[in-house]
Structure 1
Amino acid sequence: MSTTAFPADDLIRKYNRPGPRYTSYPPATQFSPEVSREALLDEVRSGTGPLSLYLHLPFCESLCWFCGCHTITTTNNSRADAYLDDLERELALFTPLLQAGRRAGQLHFGGGTPNFLTPAQLDRLGQILRARFEFEPQAECSVELDPRRLTREHVEAFARMGVRRASFGVQDCDPQVQEAIHRVQSVGTNRQCVGFLREAGFTSLNIDLIYGLPHQSPESFKKTLDEVLALEPERFAIFNYAHVPWIKPAQKLLERAGLPSPQTKLALLRLIVETLTGAGYVYIGMDHFARADDELAVAQRAGTLQRNFQGYSTRAGLDICGFGLSSISQTAGSYRQNLKAMADYSAKLAAGELPLERGYLLSGEDRLRREVITRLMCDMGLDFTTFGERHGVCFTEKFADALAQLAPMQADGLVELGPDSLRVTPTGRFFIRNLAMCFDATLQSCENRYSKTV
């Protein structure tokens, strides 16, 4: 991407407003506890094909003040033993719902801190999973790690489960920033973590960074980028800090140190894009960068890239089965989410019930709009004729309101609209959430529901 594609300050100010990240459509804010539990489970019973398993391991030894995830802060490792008991109960209740012969094509451990568990606890978790699921020979298995708590034995335990892809958070290498966000993590620790992974045969590494944190400047963040580029990861996920203290009160602590101005955030974003694309990474869109030969970049060029609750993905058509506290699951026609409070989650399982809290059943209209938004965010364009023929609709008539909303965005150089197609411009990639919002029929007032789009 050339530097001339970077948006001007006035465009950032104009379009930087709250909006969904579209890891699902409709967004998770539309999920409801009123949805029929049996209808959600019928969606599971009727499913066919491979599965994508997600295990939420919520424990962290300390709280990072920027965090927006569902976590439990504790140093008591024995709590993980009781949690594994609950996971075993949940799997025992869930797997009988599945049609025979369905295998797992993906496995992801998220958190929290999955390596909060001891190697012995991880081995037990692997046994629990193997007892309930058959995995495809080339199943994609991945994990999120905290380098501050990682040992070689942890990595070897994950490798025994077939994990070969890892992601870990750096956020920022500057000591002053780390102190302000309550996450002190040395460059040496990051390098040691990468060494453990490469020695154990891990083939893909993603590094998470965040811009918009206290004390960040283009000068300091350039040093961070230089440090993490030296680790030679296959992918980067570089997120705009989502300041939502009305949801995560600990984030108020960051306000004491002062958050960067919109102008500084813009300069940081410019630095990120120019530095990573200059180093040979492809800007996939929506926070993600990958080497040109990485599966994400290859899938985007082939038009097969997907988007789900883990971000961008190369695997289509897999039902996501989430287990553990707050985890989200997805079928072709539904979403469901587990309870978020540990006491409630454990009590449901003790009573012999799946710990569902809320869900959503998609209408035909929802599915149609989901595909439009997915293809727009993954392909950076839409072919109206092809889409219309596939779904039996006239695209320009069906989405006339959305196309009308896109007209001023075309005038601003974010999108090129033709009679039969839409193409996101290089500048428009920075505003892909805004473009997707034009096709979202669920949006109302969202000032206190979503982070800002840029």
Structure 2
Amino acid sequence: MDKYLQAKYNVAAPRYTSYPTMPYWDTDHFSVARWEDSVKSSFFQTNEKDGISLYVHLPFCESLCTYCGCNTRITKNHNVEEPYINAVLKEWNMYRSLMDTAPVLRELHLGGGTPTFFSPANLQKLITGLLSWVNIHPDAEFSFEAHPGNTTAEHLQTLFDLGFRRLSLGIQDFDPAVQLIINRHQTLKQVRNVTYTARKIGYTSVNYDLIYGLPLQTTDSLVKTMHLVSELVPDRIAFYSYAHVPWIKPGQRKFTEADLPDAPTKVKLYDIGRSLLKNYGYVEVGMDHFALPDDQLVAAEKTGDLHRNFMGYTHQHTQLLIGLGVSAISDSWYAFAQNEKKLEDYINTIELGALPIFKGHLLTGEDIVIRKHILEIMCTGKTTWNYHNEPFEGLLKGIERLEPLAEDGLIDLCSWGLQVTNPGKRYLRNICMALDSRLWNDKPATQLFSMAI
């Protein structure tokens, strides 16, 4: 990779799990009442045809992984499980009261935190409660995240019996030195046992999360990790860039920038990992994701049906995503809403009988258009626009900002759209950032996002 491009584009850039990105949400014009109206509207428009998605945030972990950027609560007290489940089910009941008919559930994902912190019995209580007044779509997919160190055969069987077929294991790196400094411990034997047990039970998809750019990570250690992973043949692999944001996540101050690979080394880690995954037979999908050739994500990208939401990439598209639990984010397409980020505030608001929403954003017409283009770039590597149907100044200025990226060979740009080139795949965040009208209209005085490289 050209060192000039590395230096030029190694800037702080959003990951674009949403547009507008959260720091640019216009909270002044948002209200819970308006959010509820957007949920009703989106549900009425799409439930019967497409169904809805549910994300449940289960925040508890027994120990802090110092690299982690998620909202977590560290505790070894498992008495917190049942009260939390009761609160989530109460929140779901509030959403169901906004719906004039039973929701058609298309996707259900349990994230964290560590969902397998919860006992199998309590997970069964949670899922049974969520499914008590829904119609399950014929193509529904249920998935959950798990820690290889505490996921038991009983966890796997219980969730399988409830309809789960997809499992995602957080591995990050097998190197002992890296595991020690990030306080994330799991052995190859544990990962192998969970993977093989899941497949024996009947799970059809196992994903591994891997991260490059971690403290003390070297090219040799990454190659060894990739080799071990390849022997287990997961169906999907998420190969993420470590996001160093210690001003947001103080746990990352357990190590310093001196422990991190520098930018050229981090690029080398990515290139090596990406090359190895392709050699092992995986196909690159979107940004940071790889899958076996017969995977549904690969087929969806080829047909243009790949979609991306707060839960990641999916081959299915629902307009309404409801996030339950502390800090969970919901998306009606017309608006975003985030729940209270502090556990106690979340529980207290639920007990008062109100949706525990902390902040949100109502999308403008320009927001929706720019969001569509960013989503298409992230999912298909291309997008098209129409000046007559999309006469927004923010989009026009964004297209002008794309010209230097075209000159650098990252995109093929024409009057009606763009196509990301092969070298440009490494810079998807930068390409999308050129279209980010809100960021360019209000450039941050301090760093808000992790570095692109």
Structure 1 length as normaliser, TM-score?
0.94
Counterpart amino acid of 1:36? S
**CA-CA distance at 1:132 after TM superposition:** 3.2
Distance in 1, matches of 2:130 and 2:192, equals 31
Distance in 2, matches of 1:118 and 1:40, equals 33
Secondary structure of the 1:337 match is strand
Contact 1:245–1:252, Cα closer than 8 Å, also in 2: yes
- Partner residue in 2 for 1:62: 63
Any idea what the Cα deviations from partners look like across 1:328-364, whole Å, max 9, x if unmatched? 0010211111101111111111111111111111111
- Partner residue in 1 for 2:19: 25
**Does residue 429 in structure 1 map to residue 429 in structure 2?**
no
Distance in 1, matches of 2:240 and 2:436, equals 22
- Partner residue in 2 for 1:326: 327
Distance in 2, matches of 1:370 and 1:183, equals 35
**CA-CA distance at 1:9 after TM superposition:** 2.1
- Partner residue in 2 for 1:39: 34
Task: State the aligned residue count.
Answer: 443
Contact 2:106–2:318, Cα closer than 8 Å, also in 1: no
Contact 2:401–2:435, Cα closer than 8 Å, also in 1: no
Contact 1:32–1:358, Cα closer than 8 Å, also in 2: no
Any idea what the Cα deviations from partners look like across 1:50-83, whole Å, max 9, x if unmatched? 1101111000011100000000111111101110
Secondary structure of the 2:359 match is strand
Counterpart amino acid of 1:187? L
- Partner residue in 2 for 1:189: 190
Matches within 5 A, 1:25-424: 25-31=19-25, 33-34=27-28, 35-46=30-41, 47-48=43-44, 49=47, 50-255=51-256, 258-384=259-385, 387=386, 392-393=389-390, 399-424=395-420
Greater shift in the superposed pair: 41-50 or 220-229: 41-50
Distance in 2, matches of 1:347 and 1:274, equals 49
Distance in 2, matches of 1:90 and 1:420, equals 44
In 2 relative to 1, CA 36–410 (structure 1 residues): closer, same or farther, beyond 3 Å? same
**CA-CA distance at 1:210 after TM superposition:** 0.8
Counterpart amino acid of 2:366? E
Greater shift in the superposed pair: 220-229 or 99-108: 99-108
Distance in 1, matches of 2:255 and 2:266, equals 15
Counterpart amino acid of 1:150? T
Secondary structure of the 1:286 match is coil
**Does residue 13 in structure 1 map to residue 11 in structure 2?**
no
Secondary structure of the 1:138 match is strand
Distance in 2, matches of 1:445 and 1:253, equals 30
Secondary structure of the 1:98 match is coil
Gaps of 5+ in 2: none
Distance in 1, matches of 2:343 and 2:390, equals 46
Structure 2 length as normaliser, TM-score?
0.94
Please provide the CA RMSD for this pair: 1.7
**CA-CA distance at 1:283 after TM superposition:** 1.5
Contact 2:329–2:336, Cα closer than 8 Å, also in 1: yes
Counterpart amino acid of 2:427? F
In 2 relative to 1, CA 423–295 (structure 1 residues): closer, same or farther, beyond 3 Å? same
Distance in 2, matches of 1:29 and 1:313, equals 25
Distance in 2, matches of 1:409 and 1:436, equals 11
Distance in 2, matches of 1:452 and 1:106, equals 31
Contact 2:102–2:133, Cα closer than 8 Å, also in 1: no
Contact 1:91–1:132, Cα closer than 8 Å, also in 2: no
Secondary structure of the 1:360 match is strand
- Partner residue in 1 for 2:447: 448
Distance in 2, matches of 1:307 and 1:29, equals 20
In 2 relative to 1, CA 85–421 (structure 1 residues): closer, same or farther, beyond 3 Å? closer
Distance in 2, matches of 1:141 and 1:428, equals 33
Contact 2:52–2:106, Cα closer than 8 Å, also in 1: yes
Counterpart amino acid of 2:176? P
Distance in 1, matches of 2:351 and 2:327, equals 17
Contact 2:286–2:380, Cα closer than 8 Å, also in 1: no
**CA-CA distance at 1:307 after TM superposition:** 1.4
Distance in 2, matches of 1:315 and 1:222, equals 33
Counterpart amino acid of 1:449? L
Contact 2:105–2:137, Cα closer than 8 Å, also in 1: yes
Any idea what the Cα deviations from partners look like across 1:336-395, whole Å, max 9, x if unmatched? 1110111111111111111111111111111111111111111111234xx56xx72479
Contact 1:338–1:355, Cα closer than 8 Å, also in 2: yes
Distance in 2, matches of 1:404 and 1:43, equals 33
The percentage of aligned residue pairs carrying the same residue is: 39
Counterpart amino acid of 1:266? V
Counterpart amino acid of 2:338? Q
Counterpart amino acid of 1:157? T
Distance in 2, matches of 1:58 and 1:276, equals 31
Distance in 2, matches of 1:187 and 1:76, equals 27
Contact 1:33–1:357, Cα closer than 8 Å, also in 2: no
**CA-CA distance at 1:400 after TM superposition:** 3.4
